[in-house]
């Protein structure tokens, strides 16, 4: 794809007045070894090769370098308008108090189970358009995918490759024997197989890599398909959640157990 600008498929978000969301985005959650300049450089390279969706958060400390990269991309002509980009950020738990919401949004939904989404849909005047959760071939979230599809909610996958390098992630997805077998047979990387699988499930993916070669490779998933047999093999892969969420529970807090956190979807 050298010299070519990849066009990433988009999906229309329900209730968004015509707003479309690219189905593949670049994650910007960084380790302590990566600084703002590395983030800015990676985002700028990503825009240049075709990425139009970027995922950030106040906690990641990448909102500022992301903004700087966008400004430079505009000045260098990589994009003509900020409107060409779709930026996902998050309202963090510590900013959920009524008086903090608007200020936090001006500075910058995820992990909802079927039960939590049902509770929201029962009274929300503005229903959620996107739910960002862990999805990959080893945690496929079939029940949640079916629920969201029936209710017009787009799912975005974080950790589509297993989130190796994070505090909770591992290489279990990238080292899975079934995925390696399919990748070898297709002449693709394991990462490409994982991303293609998610795309074929109608799931948007946010994948993190600041390596230019891998960023390009991750875009090369739209001109081939998995066979029925390959899809079946992936569907039969043993399932377990990678991010169990121990840090989100407390005996003294409103959510005391892992089962309660995920409403039994573990």
Would you say 33 and 77 are in contact if contact means Cβ atoms under 8 Å apart?
no
Q: Which of 60, 158, 199, 248 is catalytic?
A: 60
Q: 158 an active-site residue?
A: no
DSSP annotation string for the chain? -TT------EEEPTTSTT-EEESEEEE----TT--HHHHHHHHHHHHHHT--EEE--GGGT-HHHHHHHHHHHHHTTS-S-GGG-EEE----GGG-SHHHHHHHHHH--B---HHHHHHHHHH-SS--SEEEEE-BTTB--HHHHHHHHHTT-EEEEE-TT--BTBSS--STTTT-HHHHHHHHHHT--HHHHHHHHHHHTT-EEEE----HHHHHHHHTTSS----HHHHHHHHTS----S---GGG--TTSS--SHHHHTTT--
Positions marked catalytic: 60
């Amino acid at each position: 794809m050298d010299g070519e600008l990849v066009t990433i498929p988009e999906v229309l978000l329900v209730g968004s007045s015509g707003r479309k969301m690219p189905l593949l985005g670049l994650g910007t959650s960084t380790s302590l070894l990566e600084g703002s300049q590395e983030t800015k450089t990676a985002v700028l390279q990503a825009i240049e090769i075709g990425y139009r969706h970027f995922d950030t958060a106040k906690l990641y400390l990448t909102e500022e370098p992301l903004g700087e990269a966008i400004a430079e991309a505009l000045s260098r002509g990589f994009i003509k308008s900020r409107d060409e980009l779709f930026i996902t950020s998050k309202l963090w738990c510590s900013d959920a108090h009524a008086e903090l919401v608007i200020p936090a949004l001006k500075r910058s939904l995820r992990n909802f189970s079927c039960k939590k989404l049902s509770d929201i849909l029962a009274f929300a005047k503005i229903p959620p358009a996107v739910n960002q959760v862990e999805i990959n071939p080893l945690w496929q979230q079939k029940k949640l995918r079916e629920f969201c599809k029936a209710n017009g909610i787009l799912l975005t996958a974080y950790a589509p490759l297993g989130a190796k390098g994070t505090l909770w992630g591992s290489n279990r997805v990238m080292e899975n024997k079934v995925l390696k077998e399919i990748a070898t047979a297709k002449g693709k990387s394991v990462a490409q197989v994982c991303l293609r699988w998610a795309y074929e499930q109608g799931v948007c993916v946010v994948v993190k890599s600041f390596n230019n070669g891998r960023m390009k490779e991750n875009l090369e998933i739209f001109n081939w398909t998995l066979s029925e047999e390959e899809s079946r093999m992936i569907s039969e892969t043993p399932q377990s959640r990678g991010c169990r969420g121990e840090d989100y529970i407390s005996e003294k807090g409103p959510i005391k157990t892992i089962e309660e956190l995920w409403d039994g979807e573990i």
